[in-house]
Amino acid sequence: MSINTATNTLTQSQYSNYNNKVAISRATSEPALVRRLFISIVVLFLGIFLILPLLAVFTEALRHGFATYFAAISDPNALSAMKLTLIAALIAVPLNVVFGVSAAWAIAKFEFKGKSILITLIDLPFAVSPVIAGLIYILIFGMQGWFGSYLFDHDIKVIFAIPGIVLATIFVTFPFVARELIPLMQAQGKDEEEAGLVLGASGWQILWRITFPNIKWGLLYGVILTNARAMGEFGAVSAVSGHIIGMTNTMPLHVEILYADHQLAAAFAVASLLALLAIVTLILKTFVEWRVAQNAISNESI
Amino acid sequence: MSTKKNILPGFNLSLGYTILYLSLIVLIPLSAAFIKTTELSLNEFWEVVTAPRVVASYKLTFGASLIGALINAVFGLLTAWVLVRYKFPGKKILDALVDLPFALPTAVAGITLATLYSAHGWIGAWLEPHGIKVASTPLGVIVALTFIGLPFVVRTVQPVLEDLEAETEEAAASLGANRWQTFSKIVFPAIWPALLTGFSLAFARAIGEYGSVIFIAGNIPFVSEITPLIIYIKLDEHEYAQATAVAVVMLVISFLLLFAINGLQWWLNRRHTTSH
């Protein structure tokens, strides 16, 4: 059993070969049988809960062939739903990026009272059910709401119209960018910004030339998450939309209407576009994480 | 550090804008919910939030969320363990796929799960001959909430497992501990706070979930009707005060959970930094 006596009779390469085999079954890992069992359970669990649903979306979408598929996604109502989804994301994402950068700047670079309360408040939308997110805007802008009669008199529609959908989308994606940037900017500290200031840079120059290059990957990550949620939001948008086909229908709402109408193939065709968006999101996310890891390695080697 | 004067510009502007935007988008609209309930007398409020159908929905929502989070605690821990410790083909893809429930729109998840578990679906057709009905039962709600909470435990436990130093486990092994003893006495104490955080996040997310549940649940009153749906139905019937009353009950519970989770994380960070 003694390894020392074994090395005397083995060549160096044989020894390292043997050592590798031993290393796998050493005392800080599990027996091979247990490892195989664990891996099988995890593959089965993730297979049932993640891979099967993903496969099912595309199988159902193409069940009646490509012609039906393309007819479903080029239907005028589907196109107007895509347009509205894009509009909502194009407004919600930039607004939440500006907020996220601003909140992260205040929280990461300065000390002030009530900071941890502020961070918790920024998280609030995470804890609110999407339906409730829709409800609160109805209470304010709906017909019987705070500004209901004012908006009615001036012929401005918020609820059951595009502004309500945009507001609900902003609410549900509110924390994502801030949540990504706050820990990142806290970890980076403020030495580089202070150096810039001493060398005569203005506040905006510091933001553009020093802070943004440092946080770009984290920011991109936040934008990706915000965009995915903005385009996919269902509950909150459903509550404020009124489901007016061709008018206030987003893609997820269009999926629901087609599904309720038993047009399964069409519902899954539109759903498959959203599933593709999810796959692209996961790929971009993996890429950003890989870049961040690369940066960390190159920083360590310097 | 803290006594040094901060020379960076933009504090008033950034904090001012943060508070303004937070108030306009989140705080004022949320306060509207609490103000709206004052239209109801205390008795009316109590009657709405304790109506039998509503109480049945609380039981389902919290029960199914709890079971879903527990399933995710067990399988999420195992998934994190396998992804960090073992090598096997397809590992990178599985790792990336764990975030699918974050990225996949809930309505898509909803109709897909409903189709998979229906009597003719890939999984439903296999389960029904065994007398297991998932669609339109509380079991369907559990399936949807397990799906939606899947990433949380994995993603909170994974980094902690990665940071765990091999030396402590080697020391335990060299001192004669078997693998189970090393896990229960060395590894588990290090990861349980992360496990608890992930569990609470999955639970909190599940309570409010709507889109992925309503399609598979079938929404039968007293059987498979979740609380967010009750709010939605009351909204549809223009019973705004009643909808808001139920919403306020959920908001209070969710906020308490959020504060507990943030408190837990604050405590963990402090413990983490003082132990080094």
| Residues 160-189 (A) with a CB less than 8 A from some CB of B | 167, 170-171, 174
Interacting residues of B101 by C-beta distance below 8 A, sequence separation 6+: A50, B109, B147, B148, B149, B150, B151
Residue of B nearest to A189 (CA): B1
* pLDDT, position A14: 58
* Minimum CA–CA partner of A203 in chain B: B9
CATH topology (fold) of B55-224: MetI-like fold (1.10.3720)
Model pLDDT, residue A127 = 86
Residues of B in contact with A112 (CB under 8 A): 11, 15
Q: Does A201 touch chain B (CB under 8 A)?
A: no
Distance (Å) of CA A234 to CA A243, B144, B225? 12, 15, 18
Contacts with B, A 268-287, CB within 8 Å = 268, 271, 274-275, 277-279, 281-283, 285-286
Q: Which residues of B touch A48 (CB under 8 A)?
A: 123
Confidence band, pLDDT 50/70/90 cuts, at residue A74 = very high
Q: Which residues of A touch B229 (CB under 8 A)?
A: 131
Residues of chain B contacting residue A127, judged by C-beta atoms under 8 Å apart:
204, 208, 254-255, 257-258
Task: Pick A79 or A143 by higher pLDDT.
Answer: A79
Residue B137 has a pLDDT of 92
CB contact under 8 A, A267 and B111: yes
Identify all chain A residues contacting B227, using CB atoms and an 8 Å cutoff: 129
The pLDDT tens digits for B72-107 are 999 999 999 999 999 999 999 999 999 999 999 999
Q: Does the pLDDT at position B58 exceed 50?
A: yes
Q: What is the pLDDT of residues A195-224, one digit of tens each?
A: 999 998 888 999 999 999 999 999 999 999
The 8-class DSSP code of residue B123 comes to T
CB contact under 8 A, A112 and B82: no
Tokens describing residue A137: 């805007």
- Would you say residue A10 has pLDDT above 50? yes
A22: pLDDT strictly greater than 80: no
Is B111–A259 a contact, with Cβ atoms under 8 angstroms apart?
Answer: yes
pLDDT tens for each residue of B12-52: 999 999 999 999 999 999 999 999 998 889 999 999 999 99
Percent of chain A residues past pLDDT 90, beyond the cut: 64
From chain A, pick out residues whose CB is under 8 angstroms from the CB of B245.
none
> pLDDT digits over B105-142, tens only?
999 999 999 999 998 899 999 998 898 999 889 999 99
For residue A253, give the chain B residue with the closest CA: B107
Tell me the per-residue pLDDT of A121-151, one tens digit each, with 9 for 90 and over.
998 998 899 999 999 999 999 888 888 888 8
**What is the ipTM, given to two decimal places?**
0.89
Rounded to a whole number, what is the distance in Å from the CA of B52 to chain A's nearest CA?
21
| pLDDT score at A32 | 85
What is the pLDDT at residue A7? 43
Residue spans of the domains in chain B: they are 55-224
Chain-chain contact of A129 with B228 (C-beta, under 8 angstroms): yes
Binning pLDDT at 50, 70 and 90, where does residue A23 land? very low
* B-chain residue closest to A48, CA distance: B123
Of the candidates A99, A144, A197, the beta carbon closest to that of B8 is on A197
Q: What's residue A163's pLDDT?
A: 92
Nearest by CB to residue A106, choosing from B18, B173, B215, is B18
- Encode chain A in three state secondary structure: CCHHHHHHHCCHHHHHHHHHHHHHCCCCCCCHHHHHHHHHHHHHHHHHHHHHHHHHHHHHHCCCHHHHHHHHHCCHHHHHHHHHHHHHHHHHHHHHHHHHHHHHHHHHHCCCCCHHHHHHHHHHHHHCCHHHHHHHHHHHHCCCCCCHHHHHHCCCCCCCCHHHHHHHHHHHCCCHHHHHHHHHHHHHCCHHHHHHHHCCCCHHHHHHHHHHHHHHHHHHHHHHHHHHHHHHCCHHHHHHHCCCCCCCCCHHHHHHHHHHCCCHHHHHHHHHHHHHHHHHHHHHHHHHHHHHHHHHHHHHHC
A44 touches chain B (CB under 8 A): no
Q: What is the pLDDT of residues B221-252, one digit of tens each?
A: 998 999 999 999 999 888 999 999 999 999 99
Q: What is the pLDDT of residues B138-193, one digit of tens each?
A: 999 999 999 999 999 999 999 999 988 888 888 888 888 888 888 888 888 889 88
| Fold exhibited by the domain A65-301 | MetI-like fold (1.10.3720)
pLDDT digits (tens, 9 = 90+) for B213-226: 999 998 999 989 99
